[in-house]
Amino acid sequence: MVLTVLIILVVLTKELNSKKSDWKLKVRISRLWDVESPKKRGFIIFTDMVLIDEEGAYVHASLRGEAAPKLRQKLVEGKIYIMKNFEVVPNKDEYRVVSDSKIMLNFQFDTFVKMVNEGENIIPKHRFDFMPFDLFDQRRNNFTVLSDIFGRIVDEFGTDSDKEIEIEDQGGKRVRVKLWSRCSIDYTEQKKKLAVENKLKIVTITSIMARDYNGFLSLAASSASKVYINLDINEVTELKTHIREESFSPFPQKKWRGHFLLMVQIVFGYHRTLKISGGNNEDDTIDIPKIHSQDMVCQKMDIQSIIDYCKTEYK
């Protein structure tokens, strides 16, 4: 009697295709979220996740059907798993969570998952496709791909379960993002857990939608959105460093932009005041009064010229 043993090798997500079904992955569950029925609170329709392999490539996976509750109990966000017996299908035409992947995975009743310890220092914990604030207008009413965003929290409005937050990027541009139910509650709970003295809070929001609302750009969370405050990633660390450096600089080099009139008064040692006002134009120049004894001459200057001028005139 000859016993044949079939050994299935672990592959990377980039090797997956729909031509075969006996794939085996070792991946980290980077994001995990449940989508509840809008008609029945607490009833989970399906569970979705983002999986990352050792090369940092990621893929969207979905768990639905009768086997979902049993398999869901084995899944923990952030942990590493061996996974087998899943279906490889084309990525969705709309509301894609993973933008650069042509496929996604469907977990079935016989899908095998096993938590493992190896790979903790090899497989990345996170990956995002961050969209610059200036480019969100290009995705207005385009729902093919959902976008990720991060920024400094500067203001918030609404209740714990229905909140809108205003965030600012490194260039000083601000946008508002609407958070719904689960995301809003999660955001509120994370803020409460942070130390009171930790005033600098950077929020990361995944899978948001850009819509047109009465002619204005409206950003809002989707059912796939996750919220993280002060997440340990390079982008958040760099933004924190930039903000701290600017707060200690006598002449912060930020771009004076926005849809509102900005008036900054810088008072110097001789009680003289330099007024800097920026309108709603989208270039990097602003009008400042240049002080010479009794007369004031208004000139057009760029940001670096203003900084050099201030350093020269107001030592």
Q: 133-247: which CATH number, 1.10.10.10, 3.30.420.480, 2.40.50.140, 3.40.50.9100?
A: 2.40.50.140
d(CA 48, CA 32): 6
The CATH superfamily holding the domain 13-116 is Nucleic acid-binding proteins (2.40.50.140)
Pairing state between β 262-267 and 216-221: unpaired
Nearest to 125 by CA among 84, 79, 72, 190: 79
The model's pLDDT over 213-261, given as tens digits with 9 standing for 90+, comes to 888 899 999 999 999 999 999 999 999 999 887 765 544 444 433 333 3
Instruction: Evaluate if pTM is beyond 0.95.
Output: no
> Does position 19 have pLDDT exceeding 90, yes or no?
no
d(CA 130, CA 97): 12
The model's pLDDT over 34-45, given as tens digits with 9 standing for 90+, comes to 887 777 776 788
d(CA 17, CA 104): 9
Amino acid identity for residue 261 in this structure: L
What are the C-alpha distances in Å from 255 to residues 99, 246, 248, 258? Answer: 30, 12, 17, 9
Q: Provide the residue ranges of all domains of the chain, joining segments of one domain with +.
A: 13-116, 133-247, 262-313
User: Could you please report the per-residue DSSP string of 30-98?
Assistant: EEEEEEE-SSSTT-EEEEEEEEE-TTS-EEEEEE-STTHHHHHTT--TT-EEEEEEEEEEEPPSSSBSS
d(CA 110, CA 124): 27
